Amino acid sequence: MTQLRPLSALIFAVVLLAIWQTVTMQSLVPAVLLPSPASIANRIFTGAGTLLPNAASTSLVAVGGFALALVAGLGLAAAMALSAWLTRLLYPNLLLFQLLPKVALGPLFVVWLGIGVPSRLAFTTVVSVFPVVIGTLAGLRAANPGQIRLCQALRASLWQIFIHIRVPGALPYIFAGARIAATLAFTGAVVGEFISSDSGLGHVIMNAASQSDTALVFASLVVLCILGAALYGLVGLAERFARRRWRSR
């Protein structure tokens, strides 16, 4: 990719916001369809009472689901890596399942666990777990054969090879999967709230849209973007920390 000229991106955003503000101020577009950036910013403050607790609710489901997906995904991938027959059984099913948009399972979780946090948490976990599993599996498979041969020549145990070679080599892939999972976690949380919920930013958005409070819709979206970016950033930070500790390749 070309060198990013940092200022141009900022200038572009500022210009876009200025145009948006002008267009909406001149009422060229009805405020119901497109509120002005100023009114959105204002709504974030006036609506803080609604936005904050709902943001907390969504974040709980998203982050919780992400964490559970990490644990379950890493565990499943590790189990598959250690057991060839488990891989042969599960991997094709995993690939097949990738063709289905997991969000379609939302109503199923309502059937199983009702409406409420446990249901949405389980749903979010399932939505987020697949990239973790696939990423981890790809990473464990991508182990450097030269390094493994070296360990075998040194008579290292399978466990030592796993810890010293496979895991560090797999880290980039695991983190790539984790980043995708972080994005999907908020998607899952919000979709769960779309389907049936009485709390959370997804619920706020649905409600606000039906009442034509478009400014609140945008305000919620801004908060969601910040939260989503924050989780993604956390994963990125974790990756940088891990890279420094375990330099491989």
Partner 1 sequence: MSRLRGAVSGISAVLLMLAAWEILVRALHISTHLLPPPSDVAQALIDHGDLFAQHGIPTALETLAGFILASFIGCAFGVMLFISPLAQAATMPWILAAQIVPKIALAPLFVVWLGVGAPCRMVFAVFIAFFPVLIATVAGLSATDRGALQLSRALGASPVQTMLKIRLPFAVPHLLAGLKTAATLALLGIVIGEFVTAQRGLGYLVMLAGSIDETALMLAAITGLLVVGAALYALVLLAEAVFARWYGAPIIVGDFG
Residues lying near partner 1 in the complex (CB under 8 A) are found at 1-5, 8-9, 11-13, 32-33, 88-93, 95-96, 98-101, 103-108, 110-112, 135, 138-139, 142, 172-173, 176, 183, 186-187, 190-191, 194-195, 201-202, 205-206, 208-210, 212, 214, 217-218, 220-221, 224-225, 228-229, 232
Tell me whether residue 96 or residue 153 sits nearer to partner 1 (CB atom): 96
Residue type, 195: I
Tell me whether residue 31 or residue 156 sits nearer to partner 1 (CB atom): 31
Return the structure tokens found at 102: 């997991």
CB of 81 to partner 1, least distance (A): 16
Residues 6 or more apart in contact with residue 114 via CB below 8 angstroms: none
- Cα 139 to chain centroid, rounded: 19
Burial of 49 (0-12, 13-18, 19+ CB in 10 A): exposed
The C-alpha atoms of residue 198 and residue 10 are separated, in whole angstroms, by 38
CB of 244 to partner 1, least distance (A): 20
CB of 159 to partner 1, least distance (A): 25
Q: Say if CB 62 and CB 186 are below 8 A apart.
A: yes
Q: Say if CB 151 and CB 161 are below 8 A apart.
A: yes
CB of 58 to partner 1, least distance (A): 10
Tell me whether residue 96 or residue 154 sits nearer to partner 1 (CB atom): 96
CB of 214 to partner 1, least distance (A): 6
Tell me whether residue 70 or residue 224 sits nearer to partner 1 (CB atom): 224
Residues 6 or more apart in contact with residue 161 via CB below 8 angstroms: 148, 151, 152
Residues 6 or more apart in contact with residue 245 via CB below 8 angstroms: none
Helix ranges (H only) for the chain are: 6-25, 37-46, 48-82, 84-98, 106-113, 117-141, 145-153, 158-161, 167-195, 201-210, 214-245
CB of 178 to partner 1, least distance (A): 11
Tell me whether residue 63 or residue 217 sits nearer to partner 1 (CB atom): 217
Tell me whether residue 53 or residue 92 sits nearer to partner 1 (CB atom): 92
Tell me whether residue 115 or residue 156 sits nearer to partner 1 (CB atom): 115
The C-alpha atoms of residue 185 and residue 143 are separated, in whole angstroms, by 28
Return the structure tokens found at 198: 């009485």
CB of 116 to partner 1, least distance (A): 15
